[in-house]
Amino acid sequence: MHNIDIDLVEMTLDVTKYVINRITKTNPELGMPKKEEELKRLVGETITSEGIGGEKAFELWKDVLVKSTVPVDHPRNLAFVPASPTRSAIMFDLVTAASSIHGAFWMEGAGGIFAENEAMRWLVSLTGMPEPAFGVFTSGGTAANLSAMVTARECWRDLHEENKSKRGLIIASVGAHSSIKAMAKVIDAEILLVPSEERLTGEQLQETIQSLSETDRKRLFAVVATGGTTNAGIIDDLKGIADVCDKEGEDIWFHVDAAYGGGALAADSVRHLFDGIERADSITIDPHKWLFSPYDCGAVIYREPDLAKNAHAQEGSYLDIFKDPGAQGFNPADYQIQLTRRVRGLPLWFSLAMHGTDRYKQAIERGLELAQIAGELIKNNSDLELVRDPSLSCVLFRRKGWTPDDYRDWTYKNQREGFALVTPTKWKQGDTFETVARFCFINPDTTEEDISAILASMN
Ligand SMILES: *Cc1c(COP(=O)(O)O)cnc(C)c1O
């Protein structure tokens, strides 16, 4: 299986050709999901005792399977949070895989981890957090949020013996990402959601804390603010929230989830909206969202990395050698939930090193600008109406007179035609949820014409 033979050389050329084709295409085909039975009918048996051969398997991939996927980097894919990895980052993702590096410990991964840390230092500098703040790349925002929440919970339990037997409580807002609620379940913490989907303010947080019973106040160990809500790009009042967390005392951990919005820290035009983020205890940023990394690459940054190490470093006789002075260096496994890990910050490092940080700023500013352009086009169209002003690169708008079914049919029609992927969302107004249309811009290659054409499809 591992012998270098002529087939392998040919396979390598085929794969390289495919990759070059794919990453130089600015308009990849927008695939459609097919039913599992239909895919099975089209590909037949793929796992057999003899193997079907690389050529055949690759053919099935190219002719059938990839066509049943939606490229996140399509310029008219404005659904959820799309992505737009740089070509250099994608190429270096191949290099990362080919280099077979175990990214958990410095002893094995030093050169790779060094490069990751170069990129991390830039990320940390965007937050303005003081020394010794530092972080680590994770599989995504969910794993980053979980790693931060575990660290917060462990710190709180270490504060008072009685906390060890208590179920912790977290405050966030309705606009917080689903992963916050899901990860609270994982750590068996209770979560209290401030009911507004608009910007969470320090005053609202203060009122919410004041409304807690004394017992509940003693269970409160973390406040999660959002630095760019996934649905609407709203940045909570980070400064006001930091003030309240400071005032409340050392038992409150202040986490900022900027998985989507964190890229905008690099954009001078909106950086001030994040003021206060430098006072967080931990921050989540997803380079695979707005920092043009391929999947999967999230990041968690800690004000005091040693606290994360106390919470996460794994013990085991087979791991002792890594603690030997001869193997000393930064061990990514100590700061998040995963042991064996891909050196997944490497593609970001290479792309940053190659292009320089200014190009990143420009590409992010373009996403912000596209949201403003879309906002103007919507204002000038009498069939359409903004639900709220564009925030970061998110635009929520309604097509006057449409029902939820109309939005759904429109989404499926555009996707079926291979034209665009734009999905509706819900926006909370008082006690009711309204179905509305939503754009999220990431890809700097999206054009004004793309936006106009999508809006015209709502006629
Ligand atoms: C996307 C997102 C997450 C989850 O990140 P994954 O990388 O999908 O795990 C968490 N928080 C926010 C604000 C997000 O936008």
Compute the distance between CA of residue 151 and CA of residue 312 in angstroms, rounded to an integer: 7
Supply the pLDDT for residue 6. Answer: 78
Share of the chain above pLDDT 70, in %: 99
The pLDDT confidence band at residue 4, using thresholds 50, 70 and 90, is low
Query: H-type helices in 314-427, by residue range?
Result: 346-355, 357-379, 404-416
Report which ligand 1 atom has the smallest distance to the Cα of 140.
Answer: 7
The angle, 0 to 180 degrees and rounded to 10, between the axes of the packed helices 202-210 and 238-248 is 30
Does the structure show a pLDDT above 80 at 124?
Answer: yes
Q: What is the pLDDT of residues 268-299, one digit of tens each?
A: 999 999 999 999 999 999 999 999 999 999 99
Atom of ligand 1 nearest to the CA of 296: 7
Compute, in angstroms, the gap from residue 380 CA to the centroid of ligand 1.
33
Enter the tokens of residue 320. 């002792």
Centre of ligand 1 to C-alpha 283, Å, is 12
Average pLDDT over residues 39-67: 96
The answer to whether residues 83 and 347 touch, using CB atoms and an 8 Å cutoff, is no
Non-local (6+) Cβ contacts of 141 within 8 A are 177, 179, 257, 259, 260, 284, 286, 289, 298
Rounded distance between C-alpha atoms, residue 109 and residue 96, angstroms: 11
Q: Which residue among 80, 238, 289, 296 is best mutated to probe the pocket of ligand 1, counting the most ligand atoms within 8 A of its Cβ?
A: 289
DSSP for 287-313, written as a single string: HHHHT-PPSS-EEEEESSHHHHHHHH-
Closest atom of ligand 1 relative to the 226 alpha carbon: 13
Residue ID of nearest Cα to ligand 1 atom 12? 259
Distance 23 CA to ligand 1 centre (A): 25
* Cα–Cα distance, 200 to 205 (Å, whole number): 7
Which 3 state secondary structure label does DSSP give 173? strand
What is the rounded CA–CA span in Å between residue 119 and residue 316? 30
Q: What is the pLDDT of residues 310-340, one digit of tens each?
A: 999 998 888 877 777 767 899 999 999 999 9
Q: Which atom of ligand 1 is nearest to the CA of 142?
A: 9
Atom of ligand 1 minimally distant from the CA of 176: 13
Every domain of the chain with CATH number 3.40.640.10 lies at 93-355
CA-229 nearest atom, ligand 1: 13
Task: Check: CB of residue 438 under 8 Å from CB of residue 426.
Answer: no
In this structure, the chain runs to a length of: 459
pLDDT band at 1 (very low <50, low <70, confident <90, very high): low
pLDDT tens by residue, 86-116 = 999 999 999 999 999 999 999 999 999 999 9
Nearest CA to ligand 1 atom 4: 141
Query: Residue 282: in which H helix or E strand, if any?
Result: strand 282-285
Query: How does residue 196 score in pLDDT terms, banded at 50, 70 and 90?
Result: confident
Q: How much distance in Å is there from the Cα of 259 to the middle of ligand 1?
A: 5
Q: What token pair was written down for 120? A: 């991390």
Q: CB-based burial of residue 50 (10 Å sphere; 0-12 exposed, 13-18 middle, 19+ buried)?
A: exposed
Closest atom of ligand 1 relative to the 230 alpha carbon: 15
Q: Which atom of ligand 1 is nearest to the CA of 260?
A: 15
β-strands 298-302, 134-138 pairing: antiparallel
Nearest to 343 by CA among 179, 136, 205: 136
- Best residue for ligand 1 mutational test, from 146, 179, 285 (most atoms within 8 Å of Cβ): 179
**Protein residue with least CA distance to atom 10, ligand 1:** 141
* Cα-to-centroid distance, 16 and ligand 1 (Å): 31
Encoded tokens for 362: 């420009």
Residue 2 pLDDT greater than 70, yes or no = no
For ligand 1, residues with CB inside 6 Å are 81, 140-142, 145, 177, 179, 226, 230, 257, 259-260, 286, 298
Per-residue model confidence as pLDDT tens digits over 387-424: 999 999 999 999 999 999 999 999 999 999 999 999 99
Mutate to test the pocket of ligand 1, among 142, 425, 442 (most ligand atoms within 8 A of CB): 142
Going edge to edge, which strands form the sheet with 432-440? 384-386, 394-399, 432-440, 424-429
At the second CATH level, the architecture of 93-355 is 3-Layer(aba) Sandwich (3.40)
Nearest CA to ligand 1 atom 5: 141
Q: Report the pLDDT value the prediction gives residue 5, as an integer from 0 to 100.
A: 78
Residue 45, pLDDT above cutoff 90: yes
For residue 62, report the phi and psi dihedrals to the nearest 5 degrees: -70, -40
- Measured in Å, residue 260 CA sits from the centre of ligand 1 at 6
Percentage of residues of the chain with pLDDT beyond 90: 90
